[in-house]
Structure 1
Amino acid sequence: MNTEPITGGCQCGAVRYTLHREPHNPHICHCRMCQKAFGSYFAPLASVEMDDFEVTRGALAIFRSSGLVERGFCRDCGTPLTYRFVEGPGRISVALGSLDHPERVKPARQAGSEGRMPWFAELAGLESTASEETDPPELLAQIRRTSRQHPDHDTEEWPPETLE
């Protein structure tokens, strides 16, 4: 079992969080509501008890996507971060892509399969290239130099004053 803290946050760094336990029920949800909330074909999620979830910087903005569910996100950059039933079990799900090390939590099942894209199984067979293979090195260097994306670890403050 990995003993490193499980941390994560939004793209801009305004909201950061820590999970004090390993998340459970890692899955991807294909339902249309999750597709819209994530702006993607699915939402990768895993849950912890509310007592094991701590916002360590900023505050979650909340959108109540139904009478039963609220979704937390960063008000500054829009990153989807959480999913929670308003009443019921005291759990909160986090967006696995917002973890600093998303590779630590592998989805174990799929939900909302009625919304799964019919060609989803074909994705693994698509041509695959690394950014370095398709973008000029000077463009990638400029993006790195001017990036306002928060790094994949906690920082005292963000963004640094040295950004262009």
Structure 2
Amino acid sequence: MTQMMTGGCQCRRIRYEARIASDEAYLCHCNYCRHATGGVSIAFTNVAQADVTWTGDPPDYFQSSPIAKRPFCSTCGTPLGFQFLDATNMDLTVGSFDDPGYFRPTSHFSIETMLPEWSDTSHLPGKRLDEHAPVADRWMKTLGKLPD
């Protein structure tokens, strides 16, 4: 079922509405995505460019290769997506949606450059933010509450 979803950058200067037809998303492991995000992979969902409306300021774009460009916020640095220069579809970063939990990973892309050590980290210990006093105290002193 198609639904409208919203998202945007961390500083909220750039916002979007997107018509989402599926909860499917994928992880890209290519070197370009790793360098563009600073992460070991990036989660994307594919949408028609015509189904995305930029409701805040329009995004800035970086042509990251001879065949593609990436929308981002030049104020806060949030990566917002990926699109081929000659395509009618684009990818939006799952993490930039207001409700990223809607999406589910269904595949990996560019597995030849995947970092296998990072593909399953479920066995590692975890800690909640509120259990880490130095960081929690900083938030409480500055904001009076922990972040959402």
SS in 2 for 1:13: coil
Displacement of 1:24 after TM fit? Answer: 6.6
What letter is aligned with 2:28? Answer: C
Cα separation, partners in 2 of 1:143 and 1:104, compared to 1, 3 Å? farther
- Partners of 2:104 and 2:96 lie apart in 1 by 13
How many residues are aligned here?
Answer: 147
Instruction: Give the structure-1-normalised TM-score.
Output: 0.81
Displacement of 1:135 after TM fit? Answer: 2.3
Displacement of 1:142 after TM fit? Answer: 2.8
Displacement of 1:115 after TM fit? Answer: 1.6
- Partners of 2:49 and 2:112 lie apart in 1 by 29
114-123 or 66-75, which deviates more: 114-123
Match of 2:63 in 1: 64
Contact 1:28 1:42 in 2 (8 A): yes
90-99 or 24-33, which deviates more: 24-33
Cα separation, partners in 2 of 1:117 and 1:24, compared to 1, 3 Å? same
Match of 1:114 in 2: 112
Cα separation, partners in 2 of 1:93 and 1:143, compared to 1, 3 Å? farther
Match of 1:141 in 2: 140
Displacement of 1:139 after TM fit? Answer: 2.2
Instruction: Give the structure-2-normalised TM-score.
Output: 0.89
- Partners of 2:96 and 2:22 lie apart in 1 by 13
Contact 2:37 2:79 in 1 (8 A): yes
Out of 126, 130, 134, the residue aligned to residue 128 of structure 1 is 126
Contact 1:65 1:71 in 2 (8 A): yes
SS in 1 for 2:137: helix
SS in 2 for 1:20: strand
43-52 or 113-122, which deviates more: 113-122
- Partners of 1:48 and 1:24 lie apart in 2 by 11
What letter is aligned with 2:124? Answer: L
Displacement of 1:68 after TM fit? Answer: 0.8
- Partners of 1:18 and 1:140 lie apart in 2 by 30
Relative to its length, the structure with more strand (as a share) is 2
Which ranges in structure 2 are unaligned for 5 or more consecutive residues?
Answer: none
